[in-house]
Amino acid sequence: MTDERMSAFEKARLTIARAGVSSEAELDEAVAKVTRIASETLDVERSSLWMLDEDDVLRCVHLHVRGRGQVPCDVALRMADYPRYAEAGRTRRVIATEDARHDPTTEAFCHAYLEPNGIHSMLDAPVFQSGKIVGMLCQEHCGRGPRAWATRDVDFAGSMADLLSVAFDQAARTEAERARAAAEHRLAAQERMAALGRLAAGVAHDLANIVQLATLQVAVLAREPLGEVGRGAVALLDDAMAQEQRLL
Contact 66, 39 (CB under 8 A): yes
- Which pLDDT tens digit goes with each residue over 121-145? 999 999 998 889 999 999 999 988 9
**Over residues 72-92, mean pLDDT:** 94
For residue 106, name the pLDDT band (cuts at 50, 70, 90): very high
Q: What is the pLDDT of residue 242?
A: 76
Q: What is the pLDDT of residue 110?
A: 95
Write phi, then psi, for 47 (nearest 5 degrees): -135, 130
Q: Torsion angle, CA of 106/121/55/72, rounded to 10 degrees? A: -150
Query: Mind spelling out the 3-state secondary structure of 85-107?
Result: HHHHHHHCCCEEECCCCCCCCCH
Q: What is the pLDDT of residue 4?
A: 52
> Which is higher by pLDDT, 193 or 71?
71
DSSP reduced 3-state for 58: strand
Q: What is the pLDDT of residue 15?
A: 66
**Over residues 81-94, mean pLDDT:** 94
> Which is higher by pLDDT, 22 or 170?
170
- Which pLDDT tens digit goes with each residue over 185-217? 888 788 888 888 888 777 777 777 776 777 777
Across all residues in the chain, what is the average pLDDT?
84
Q: What is the pLDDT of residue 17?
A: 62
Q: Torsion angle, CA of 16/138/166/23, rounded to 10 degrees? A: 80
In this structure, which amino acid lies at residue 216? L
The secondary element (H helix, E strand) that includes residue 172 is helix 151-222
Is the pLDDT reported for residue 1 higher than 60?
no
